[in-house]
Amino acid sequence: MTRPEAPVPAALPHPVVDNHCHLDIGRGGDPWDAGEAIAAAAAVGVTRIVQIGCDLRGARWAVEAAQRHPGLVAGVALHPNEAPRIHAEGGRVALEAAWDEIEELAGAHDGVRAVGETGLDAFRTGEDGRAIQVESFRRHIDLAKRLDKTLVIHDRDTHDEVLEVLDAEGAPERWVMHCFSGDADFARACLDRGAHLSFAGTVTFKNAEPLREALRIAPRDRILVETDAPYLTPHPHRGQTNASYLVPLTMRLMAEVRGEDLGELCAAVEGSTFAAFGGVWPAAPTANKS
């Protein structure tokens, strides 16, 4: 059954970018109409979206969508749980072919700004798949550096391990901790290594005080906002389908937590996102004013 849609929030006073979205998954596993999703987001001040492809099908979709839609750029990778799955089902030949295709897609056109989401996940991948997961992470780090793309990192229950791999391989110039899930100490460790921290709807959850403390200590120029839609819908609409038009709920909470003016924080987050993902961004609709 498709989850209900949340009501449209008030528009933001300054544009921001949803820097991590899965339009190809959309509602109930079916892709959104990208044009409609982009227009709905732009109407509330979310004027650009980074579309992330996590498997070969999704990566192809992201690359094509970035070609078709102004205001949308793409990231491509094998998700940390996808690489072990491919290896388990098709062996080394299938995994090498998948990595090769991700490299081809990552260099397809200027609208592909990121290699990600990659990283580590101890929640859904067990010890039997960990070596492949780590190897895939290393391959994606190398790809991001060779192509001068932003590295987007998925980290679930693997804080220390992610930093160990990054330290061993050397982080690329631009990298993002997607859906940051650590506390203030882990935030400092990432920031010291040059990371941008991306905050999702999880920062609005009642049990997320350590995450809010990380938000408080992060410099303005390292903060990003995302949905991870259709997942992680912000409070008070948990259980409903997330989408880019709900970013204002997260941004308002972020401004409240930091004790900052909403418009000023939105402007800082937009600038931080442009810096984090590099390149010249396409023109985007003008945001409505609240």
- Which H or E element spans position 47? strand 46-53
14 is in an annotated binding site: no
22 is in an annotated binding site: yes
Give every CB contact of residue 140 below 8 A, 6+ residues apart in sequence.
77, 78, 102, 115, 116, 118, 151
Q: d(Cα 253, Cα 212) in Å, to the nearest integer? A: 10
Q: Helix 184-192 and helix 209-217: axis angle, to 10°?
A: 40
Written as six digits, the tokens of 280 are 């010249």
Main-chain dihedrals φ then ψ at residue 175, nearest 5 degrees: -150, 150
Q: d(Cα 31, Cα 57) in Å, to the nearest integer? A: 12
DSSP string, 64-129: HHHHH-TTEEEEE---TTHHHHHHHHHHHHHHHHHHHHHHHHHTS-TTEEEEEEEEEETTTS-GGG
235 is in an annotated binding site: no
20 is in an annotated binding site: yes
Q: d(Cα 181, Cα 18) in Å, to the nearest integer? A: 17
| Angle, vertex CA 228, rays to CA 89 and CA 287, nearest 5 | 145
154 is in an annotated binding site: yes
Q: Which residues are annotated as a binding site?
A: 20, 22, 117, 154, 178, 228
Q: Which residues are annotated as a binding site for a divalent metal cation?
A: 20, 22, 117, 154, 178, 228
